[in-house]
Structure 1
Amino acid sequence: MTTSPTAGDGPAVSAPGTSVSSVSHPITLDSPEFVVDPQAHFTWLRTHAPVYRGRVDSSLVDQDVWIVSRYADCKSLLTDDRFPRSPAGGPAIASGMPDHLRLLTESMIYKDSHEHRRLRRLVAKPFTPRAIERLGQRVSELANGLLDDLEARDVVDLRTEFALPVPMTVISEMVGVDEADRERFHRGVQGLFDGMAGPEQEADHDEGAALAEFVRELIERRRSVPGDDLLTGLIQAEEQGERLADDELAAMVFTLITAGYETTYNLITNAVVTLLDHPEQLALLRADPSLMSSAVEEIVRYAGPVQSSEALTAAEDVTWHGRTVPAGSLVLPLLAAANHDPEVFAAPETFDITRGPNHHLGFGHGEHFCLGANLARMEARVALDALLRRNPGLTLAVDREQLTLDPVPMLVRYRSLPVRFG
């Protein structure tokens, strides 16, 4: 077993498309080198250091972190009681968060065992397969309505003008954000995520704080004037005599935003990029639209927007693959690395929309399996179906090399996706 090298042991990672990629150490998960070529880092980690002490250096976290990269280990880690999300004193990540983001740590994402199950039961009803199926027609209306307006244009940024408005509208309607408040809501969400992308700017902080204030206002509004929406349901819901506290309600709305908004529009964006990168697979999908569900699963495995679960914390010293992870350490299962593990997936670097079985970890595993997975899958299927069916000549409007990624820790997010319809 090779232990992790010390800093300065290698040259920076080569640009994509070159014949050799090198990995510099310590691996920093939001460094430009990692963002440019994550697969080179994933391969090195799985092969040489399946348990590795790396770093995260962002506006939220600036510290060492233990990285787990093999499929079997990641899957095991996600159900291991020795690695809770919220140990005594709260999640380790909370200490680096500004006040408006610390609210997230009150959500079920950062709760374990009984507390997690209690919160999840209260919010689960709108995410059942039957409830999601009923939303499909609304998503189709949104997608086709957007295309009606966009297809007359020469060049369209598919990310901001198509992939983003679909989940933004869906989650706004689910939560109960009135149409008059959508722009305010959207600005707050963008400020929240732009602040995560790098050193937080004052404007990002202000927008994120304004979003937290707006969410609390919305809760009070729905208490006074209930609506036919998820937030009203949460306010009125009880589980064994317990209702959600105000911070839990606000945290749940934040969770729905992050899980049902940001990741979904990036999934749609990444899907289009991946299909255009693989024209033979795109042709196969056009010839047989029944492959759409399988194609979405393969996109999640191959180019999913989320590269890791939320951070876990070692509750005790744990020795794994010859490395001892000390109690209190931050630990990240690299789901994207696991999804390319050749021990589990045949030819993992091949994008194959007919792949089966496809037991990827793109939506997590265990009790924290993504509550919104069915919603994200449905939105991606419906949006892609409308886009591809109506535009057989869809192409990039720029050279492929001009597409760039934001250095957001553990999120694959293109800055723009200029396309031409046809």
Structure 2
Amino acid sequence: MDLAEEILSRPYDVYARLREDAPAHRVTGTDGQPAWLVTRYEDVRAALADPRLSLDKAHAREGNYRGLGLPPALDANLLNMDPPDHTRLRRLVGKAFTTRRVEELRGPIRATADQLLRDLGEAGTTDLVSAYAAPLPISVICELLGVPSSHRRDFRAWTDTLISPDPSRPAAAKEAVGSLLGFLADLLAHKRRRPAHDLLSDLIQVRDAEDDRLSEDELMSLAFLILFAGYENTVQLIGNAVWALLHHPEQLAALRREPARVPAAVEELARYEGPALLAIRRFPRQEVAIGGVRIPAGETVLLSLSAANRDPARFPDPERLDIDRDAAGHLALGHGIHYCLGAPLARAETEIALTALLERFAHLELADSEVRWRASMRARGLAALEVRYGRTAPAC
């Protein structure tokens, strides 16, 4: 079994071994190209904020891992940019994800969560990912952007294909990208004809009224990234949190007794089982030293968020889920100028999703001990989470 297969099957065991062995390891990316993998908390945190490590593929050396390849119309996004372009674009969309704006969204988020749970009925068995953890964030982000509800199921299928490509269908990812391009082009054209009170209409106005501030590719790429990241991270955060709590019934019971502890618990759940194994790849502009290991300019650096979050040098007894732990400083949503733009919204959605779920169902347990994780080197999420639920606890 090679390292990539090991990480897919048991990531935390592998990361613990690598963390102890050396600060940085030469590994092979999913495309067969080499990269450096960094796993220790202090090294990862410092590298996330190091301006010498660029996200711009122009700084990548030929023959090194470069990550997911997208057409220019989707690639001109914040995950491939450094300042000043990164600063300019982030400022344009940042107002949609401020703490104040997120607070205004709490009511609609809770209403959506309650409706999804009512649709499940009084008791039964369901895949909580497809029935709850996925439709909640995709509904929220699509409402924010102004995406019609009729297109949301398709959008989820396309993004799932990009996150976890099926090796038996090598053309599927290309087809998904083509479908996304067509979908976004049609959506932006519709918003131009009929602007509304949503983020996409606002971004189009910036593009058309102040042409030097936002190119057409940047507009398309921003729409793609906000939809993609706004859905992906949160569905995994919610699903992983429920999975972790069901494996720690004493922690679940504590949250049932004291729902006010949920916000703090979300931070520990994000540390323990966050939505990403790796941050977006980086390319040194010049030779850098990480933990004493010298990495030449242009070679790819992969920063493991999940390995850093279980580093015993930063979090004592890190393999234990403890909702009373002070998990401040975890890196599940990044650090530095590339810190997850939608972090306040992801936190709010996860808090509300957990609170509504525990209030609705007095009984909740795993229905299948065989849990399958998505086959992704970057994302950490469940393919499904089969649970049994009920408004009342079963009789002994």
Task: Give the TM-score of the pair, scaled to structure 2.
Answer: 0.92
* Aligned amino acid, residue 53 of structure 1: R
1:54 to 27, 42, 48: 27
The match for 2:388 is: 420
The match for 1:316 is: 286
Structure 2 contact 267–328 (Cα < 8 Å) conserved: yes
Structure 1 contact 55–65 (Cα < 8 Å) conserved: yes
Structure 2 contact 59–283 (Cα < 8 Å) conserved: no
The match for 2:107 is: 137
Alpha-carbon distance change, 410 to 95 in structure 1, aligned in 2, over 3 angstroms: closer
C-alpha deviation, 1:257, in angstroms: 2.0
Structure 1 contact 405–413 (Cα < 8 Å) conserved: yes
**Partner-residue secondary structure (3-state), 1:154:** strand
The match for 1:18 is: none
The match for 1:208 is: 177
For residues 110 and 186 of structure 2, the distance between their equivalents in structure 1, rounded to whole angstroms, comes to: 31
Alpha-carbon distance change, 131 to 90 in structure 1, aligned in 2, over 3 angstroms: farther
**Partner-residue secondary structure (3-state), 2:53:** coil
1:35 and 2:8 matched: yes
C-alpha deviation, 1:363, in angstroms: 0.9
Q: CA offsets per residue over residues 124-174 of structure 1, 9 Å max, x none? A: 111000101111111111111011111345211100111100011111111
Q: Percent identity?
A: 37
For residues 409 and 318 of structure 1, the distance between their equivalents in structure 2, rounded to whole angstroms, comes to: 24
Structure 1 contact 143–166 (Cα < 8 Å) conserved: yes
The match for 2:17 is: 44
For residues 375 and 48 of structure 1, the distance between their equivalents in structure 2, rounded to whole angstroms, comes to: 37
For residues 354 and 95 of structure 1, the distance between their equivalents in structure 2, rounded to whole angstroms, comes to: 39
C-alpha deviation, 1:68, in angstroms: 0.9
C-alpha deviation, 1:404, in angstroms: 1.2
C-alpha deviation, 1:308, in angstroms: 1.6
For residues 380 and 284 of structure 2, the distance between their equivalents in structure 1, rounded to whole angstroms, comes to: 26
The match for 1:339 is: 309
1:68 to 24, 32, 38: 38
* Aligned amino acid, residue 117 of structure 1: T
1:172 to 123, 142, 149: 142
* Aligned amino acid, residue 12 of structure 2: Q
The match for 1:278 is: 248
Structure 2 contact 278–306 (Cα < 8 Å) conserved: yes
For residues 291 and 146 of structure 2, the distance between their equivalents in structure 1, rounded to whole angstroms, comes to: 48
C-alpha deviation, 1:183, in angstroms: 3.5
Structure 2 contact 35–65 (Cα < 8 Å) conserved: no
**Partner-residue secondary structure (3-state), 1:345:** coil
C-alpha deviation, 1:292, in angstroms: 0.4
* More contact order relative to length (CA 8 Å, sep ≥ 6): 2
C-alpha deviation, 1:357, in angstroms: 5.0
* Aligned amino acid, residue 221 of structure 1: H
Q: CA offsets per residue over residues 47-69 of structure 1, 9 Å max, x none? A: 11111111222xxx431110111
The match for 1:4 is: none
1:296 to 257, 266, 271: 266
Structure 2 contact 60–283 (Cα < 8 Å) conserved: no
The match for 2:377 is: 409
The match for 1:249 is: 219
The match for 2:82 is: 112
The match for 2:239 is: 269
Alpha-carbon distance change, 366 to 269 in structure 1, aligned in 2, over 3 angstroms: same
Query: Within 5 A, what are the aligned runs for 1:93-242?
Result: 97-100=68-71, 103-152=73-122, 154-195=124-165, 198=167, 201-237=170-206, 242=212
C-alpha deviation, 1:91, in angstroms: 9.3
Alpha-carbon distance change, 298 to 96 in structure 1, aligned in 2, over 3 angstroms: closer
C-alpha deviation, 1:105, in angstroms: 2.7
For residues 327 and 367 of structure 2, the distance between their equivalents in structure 1, rounded to whole angstroms, comes to: 35
1:397 and 2:367 matched: yes
Q: CA offsets per residue over residues 274-329 of structure 1, 9 Å max, x none? A: 00001111111111111101111011100001122100012222244443212211
Structure 2 contact 268–327 (Cα < 8 Å) conserved: no
**Partner-residue secondary structure (3-state), 1:226:** coil
Alpha-carbon distance change, 90 to 107 in structure 1, aligned in 2, over 3 angstroms: farther
Task: Return 5+ residue gaps in structure 2 as ranges.
Answer: 391-396
For residues 265 and 320 of structure 1, the distance between their equivalents in structure 2, rounded to whole angstroms, comes to: 32
**Partner-residue secondary structure (3-state), 1:73:** helix
For residues 109 and 367 of structure 1, the distance between their equivalents in structure 2, rounded to whole angstroms, comes to: 11
Alpha-carbon distance change, 255 to 198 in structure 1, aligned in 2, over 3 angstroms: farther
For residues 55 and 326 of structure 2, the distance between their equivalents in structure 1, rounded to whole angstroms, comes to: 31
Q: CA offsets per residue over residues 383-404 of structure 1, 9 Å max, x none? A: 11111111121011112xx101
C-alpha deviation, 1:103, in angstroms: 4.0
Alpha-carbon distance change, 157 to 237 in structure 1, aligned in 2, over 3 angstroms: same
C-alpha deviation, 1:36, in angstroms: 2.0
Q: What is the RMSD computed on CA atoms of the aligned residues?
A: 2.2
Structure 1 contact 215–250 (Cα < 8 Å) conserved: yes
1:351 to 316, 321, 325: 321
Q: CA offsets per residue over residues 328-367 of structure 1, 9 Å max, x none? A: 1100111111111111112211111111152101111110
C-alpha deviation, 1:267, in angstroms: 0.8
The match for 1:328 is: 298
